[in-house]
Each structure stands twice: as C-alpha cells, then as structure tokens.
Amino acid sequence: MNAIAIPEKGRHRAVIEGVTPQVDTGRHPIKRIVGESVVVEADIFADGRDLLSAVVKHRPQKTAEWSETPMELLPNDRWRGRFVVTEPGRYGYTIEAWVDHFKSWRQDLQKKLEVQKDVSLEIVSGAKFIEAAAGRATAPDAERLRDWAAELRTGNCATGSSMVERALNETMAGLMERYSDRRFATTWENELSVMVEPERAQFSAWYEMFPRSFATEPGKHGTFKDCEAQLPRSAGMGFDVLYLPPIHPIGKSFRKGKNNHPVCEPDEPGSPWGIGAAEGGHKSIHPELGTLEDFRRFVQRVGDHGLELALDIAFQCSPDHPYVKEHPEWFSHRPDGSIQYAENPPKKYQDIFPFDFECEDWWSLWQELKSIFEFWIEQGVGIFRVDNPHTKTFAFWEWCVDELKRRDPGLIFLSEAFTRPKVMYHLAKMGFTQSYNYFPWRNGKDELTDYFTELAGGPLADFFYPNLWPNTPDILPRYLQDGGRAAFIVRLVLAATLGASYGIYGPAFELCENTPRDPDGEEYLNSEKYEIRRWDLRSPQSLEKLIGQVNRIRRENPALQCNRRLKFHPVDNEQLLAYTKSTEDGTDTILTVVNLDPHHRHYGWLELPLEEFQLESRRTYQMHDLLTDARYLWRGPRNYVELDPGKMPAHIFRLRRHVRTERDFDYFM
C-alpha cells in the first residue's frame, strides 16, 4: 500500500484566485505609464471564520527586494490593492495572503464586549500573539510589543487605561500588522509583470511629413536642412512627435512611378519603402537628403523645438539592396532561382523583397535586423514606427523589442498593423507600445461607440494603446473623400479626443486633400509616396490654426491624456455623438459632442449622469466650449445641443461646476 504524501503547504489556509490584471495568465506584461497606479484585485478566502490579511508585493525587476502595499477587503471576498510605478521598465508583482490570528482575536474580543461578556481571559490569551510578534520585530518596536504583552498578561496597565482600551489600542494594532505572522502565508503562484512606459507612450500627437517635399526651390529634392525650417510650424501646431517615412537610399530596379505606375520615368524618385541601392541600405541615408551628420543635426534641432523624432523602420529590401548580394540566403527563392518579390494578390510589389524569417540562417538575420534599430538609436532616435510588423514572425518581435527595451526602457514602438484584431493585439503583447487600428473606417455612431468602449475598458486597456490616424499616405478614407473640409474637422476632433495619442499625415490632412486615385479606392491621386509634392501651406483651406487649438486643448486638460475613463452618453439624434473623459480624481471633465454628418445641421437632447460628475440637479453648471470660447449654462441631466458643420461640427466642452464661497459669491470652476 502506497503512503500518501504529506502536503508541503498543508498549513497554508488562504486561497488566492481570480487575480487581475494579467494578460494571458501572466504570459505577457500589462502596460502602465510612469506615475500611474496598478490596481490589483483577487478573490481571497479561507476556511472557517478567521480574518485574513493580504498585500500586493511589487518591485522593479532589476531589484531583488520587494515593496508591499496592503490590500482592502471588498464585498464577496474580493480584495484590492494598488501601487505606483515610478520609472520606465519592467516591474514584477504578486499577492501574498494569510490567516491573521491577531486580527481574528481582536474581532472576537469586540464581539464579546458588545454582548457584555467577561473578556478577562480573552485579553490574556491575546498576549501570546503579541509576544510572538515581538520576536519578529526590530528594536525599539520589539520592546514596545513585549511591554504591551506583559500588561495584558498581568493586568497591570501602566498607562492608566482600562485593560479593554489597552487591548484594542490602534497604535499597537498597527505594529501587529507590520509584524504579522506570515509563516503559513500563501503566495500567488505566478509573478506577474507590468511594462512601464514613458508618458509619450500614452499621450502624444504625431505629424508625418516626407522630407523630400520641403525643398525651398520648386522642382528640387528636399533635404534635412530644408526641413529644419518647418520645425517651428510643426511645434507651433502643438505636435509632440515628428514622424519621417524611410530616409534610406531608394532602389532603381522596378522602381514605381507616379501613382504607383509600374514604369518609372528617369526623374521620378520612387517610393521610400523600396529601401536599398548602391549607396547603401537600412543604415544609410538617401544622399539627396543629406549626410549622417546632417541627420544628427536635424535630430538635435527637432529636440530644440520640443519635439521628438520618429523614424520609419520597414524590414524589406529593393532588388538593389546590399543585403540581396551579401545575404541571398535571407530571402525566399522561386524555382528559377530568382528572389521572390512581395505580393498581396492581386497586388504585386516587384520593387520589394521580403525577408524569409524561416530561412536556415534566421538567427543571423534576427541579429542584423536588431542592429538596424541599434544603429538609429545611436543617432539619437527613440521612437520607431514599424511598417507591417504582422508580416514578420511574432517570436522575432518579442525577442527584439525586449532586448532593446532592456537597455533603454524609454523606447517607443508604433505598430503599423492594419490586420485582423487578434494579430493586432498579439503584437501589442509582444512589446509594441502603440498600434494603428480601425479608426479610419469607424464612422457611424454605433460603430464608434462599440469600438472605443472596447478599446478604453476591459482587458484590452491593460495592454493595447491605440494611436488614432484619420489618414495615412496609404489611406484616404471615403468619409474624407466625400465630406469636404467639415469631414476633416470631424475626424480631427474625434481622433484627438477619443484617443490620448493620434496622428495626421501632415500637409495632406491639414490642407484637406481628398481626391482619390480611383473612384472606388482609398489611394491618393498623385500620392506623395511616389512623387515629390509642393504644398501650399498658406492655403485658406488649411486647418493649421484649428489643429494647433485642438492640441493646446489636449495639453491643458489632463482628462484627454489617458485612454481610460471614456464614457458615451445618450443623444436623441443618430448623427450626434457625445462622450466624456475625466481625470481619476474628477477635477477635469471634458465633454465632446460631434456632428457626424459633415453636410447638414443637427440638433438633439443630450443626457448626462449628474451624480457621476458631482452635480446637483437643481443647480446650474457651466459648459465652456474650448473651440469657440462660448459658455452655456446648463441645468439638470437633459440639455439641448445643436451643431452646424458649416460653422463648427463639434463642441469640446470643459465642465465647470457651480461653487458658492463663504461670502456668498458664485463662480464656476
């Protein structure tokens, strides 16, 4: 007969279940921003009537020593604790819980006192818990605990208090909590992790520009020095990040011509994403843009204007890229021995060779691709927009991004993955800081409400940070094609207020360019991807001032700097969308109302849950429109709104509560 093994932790009575937040049972880290709280919850219980204690244990993963914060008991055996993350990088966290015999003794003592039962023996019996705690304590706490235990045992209360008062002393109870008996504590089986990102990872406004289109002379190819002249304008509009498409030499073989024509004229510049030529590859600069020294100077000048530079990383090669000759084993080959170009049937990209991540020499390929990031980091770049990461193996990204962030946890990676939801979200779990998403195609009230409710709350909010782009060089949505200037304003306001991070494909958006190449397509006519453009930035059609105003509103209102705490509100008109964002402490609340129809005036009655905003139904409150500076006095939960797209298709209201001072002076704050 086989002996029954004695459980190793047979006296560990606390049970810990349902720990949140965690991503895929702890396989991947959650994400938070420097300065944010991580709120940890769990179901914690034990057999019998004994009370429990629990703590959240947390530490930067580079540190061996744990810090602790106590957890509080919520209804139904749910517990909650929190800690604040203070620096970029990975943190670990877990939960420890135990049966707290001292707390149980104290509770029983109080219950017996309520029914006027003699508790003299109970008071004496509590001394054993206090003496044990004294053995775990450090001086002088140990001495205080021993004196307290002696008082309870002898009944000689030196302070003049009654024995009951002394037994229930709150200060001494605090010492007992500090030196609680954890010999049989249960620790959650998995150490969970949180990736702490810099502030820019959550809150940022991006401006995309093609440097070659900003030459001072018509017909010339722009340079980095030319682009320096644009920095005051970009900074003046309130952008945080200046994003450049690939800046590398462009291949000549199969170079695409104007409007993506398969035949390129001799003077046409080709697509910047056709990377690599005789002058070099991913670690080289297009000679007409300038030198590496010019680039370093440009990075410095970008920083001088309060901006950060984001660089496009596209892991693909033109047929002329040095990698093609030096490492043909990194590419797939067709039966005739030629290298397989990129395809997305029926589309063909003969000017691009994708890497083969399943090749025999995959490890050398991985190391070389990582070194591309490392090269540009050495030049001062800390933000990268990664082209089509969903077409490269997930394992590479998990390894590469983790390696890079271990050295510099302040790096930011934007995933350009317009792909299936599960793939998009998995890339975020692999380490990408932000992601493009389906915003360009979410136009109706219901689809906007459903999509952003999903992104702003629930499991996605723990690891997926959306970056909203109303247009890109590849995407001119039908809404912008058909809606005129008002449509661009609508999408600007939505992008800037629904998300904490957003971006625009610069001059094309601010000048409201909306002509498609094909009637049923989303490609721009005369796309800047394939030719050098000359932009009339002084056009009366320009949205430059409005963009600057919207970005200023974002910077001045912390409610708009986070993706959480987004809530939609009923309006009895399907063309009017209303939503609020608030800070955690409720001191800043922004209500945005948008007319989704760029052609017609719409009005309706909007309902707000006054109690959530600490408003009294019988008192007025002020709605200050930060776009027009108009102020409206509202009363009660239901109020009238009207928006004419010919004037302004949106309100961005700051809620100002009614306050009465001691001198009976009314004002709004």
Known catalytic residue: 387? yes
| Residue 491 Cα to chain centre, angstroms | 20
Closest CA to 636 of 654, 653, 621, 651: 621
In which residue are the tokens 């689809």 written? 447
Closest CA to 87 of 156, 34, 130: 34
The CA R_g of the chain, rounded to the nearest whole Å, is 31
In angstroms, rounded to a whole number, what is the distance separating the alpha carbons of residues 467 and 172? Answer: 51
In the structure encoding, which two tokens stand for residue 555, read together? 């910077």
List C-alpha distances in Å: 246 to 159, 279, 297, 313, 581: 77, 15, 18, 7, 36
What's the count of helices (H) and strands (E) in the chain, helices before strands? 16, 32
Q: Is the CB of residue 35 less than 8 Å from the CB of residue 85?
A: yes
Q: Is the CB of residue 588 less than 8 Å from the CB of residue 582?
A: yes
Q: Strands, E, within 388-435: which ranges?
A: 412-416, 434-435
Q: Which pairs from 478-481 meet CB under 8 Å and 24+ separation?
A: 478/522, 479/443, 479/598, 480/512, 480/514, 481/514, 481/515, 481/516
List C-alpha distances in Å: 331 to 328, 337, 388: 6, 11, 17
Q: Where are the alpha helices (DSSP H) in 168-291?
A: 170-178, 224-228, 231-236
Please tell me whether residue 437 adopts helix, strand or coil conformation: coil
Question: Bridge-partner residues for 95, per DSSP?
Answer: 56
Length of the chain counted residue by residue: 669
Other C-beta atoms lying within 10 Å of the C-beta of residue 180: 18
In angstroms, rounded to a whole number, what is the distance separating the alpha carbons of residues 46 and 77? Answer: 10
Question: Between vectors from CA 440 to CA 437 and to CA 442, what angle results, nearest 5°?
Answer: 90
In which residue are the tokens 């390129």 written? 264
Question: Catalytic one among 208, 308, 368, 416?
Answer: 416
Closest CA to 373 of 398, 396, 401: 401
In which residue are the tokens 């517990």 written? 79
What sign results for the dihedral spanned by CA atoms 347, 275, 519, 421?
Answer: positive
In angstroms, rounded to a whole number, what is the distance separating the alpha carbons of residues 219 and 222? Answer: 9
In the structure encoding, which two tokens stand for residue 420, read together? 């299936």
Contacts of 584 (CB under 8 A, 6+ apart): 565
| Residue 512 Cα to chain centre, angstroms | 28
Question: Catalytic one among 41, 208, 351, 387?
Answer: 387
In angstroms, rounded to a whole number, what is the distance separating the alpha carbons of residues 467 and 495? Answer: 9
In angstroms, rounded to a whole number, what is the distance separating the alpha carbons of residues 458 and 435? Answer: 17
Burial of 603 (0-12, 13-18, 19+ CB in 10 A): middle
Instruction: Spell out the SS3 assignment of 151-194.
Output: HHHHCCCCCCCCHHHHHCCHHHHHHHHHCCCCCCCEECCCCEEE
Q: Catalytic residue numbers?
A: 387, 416
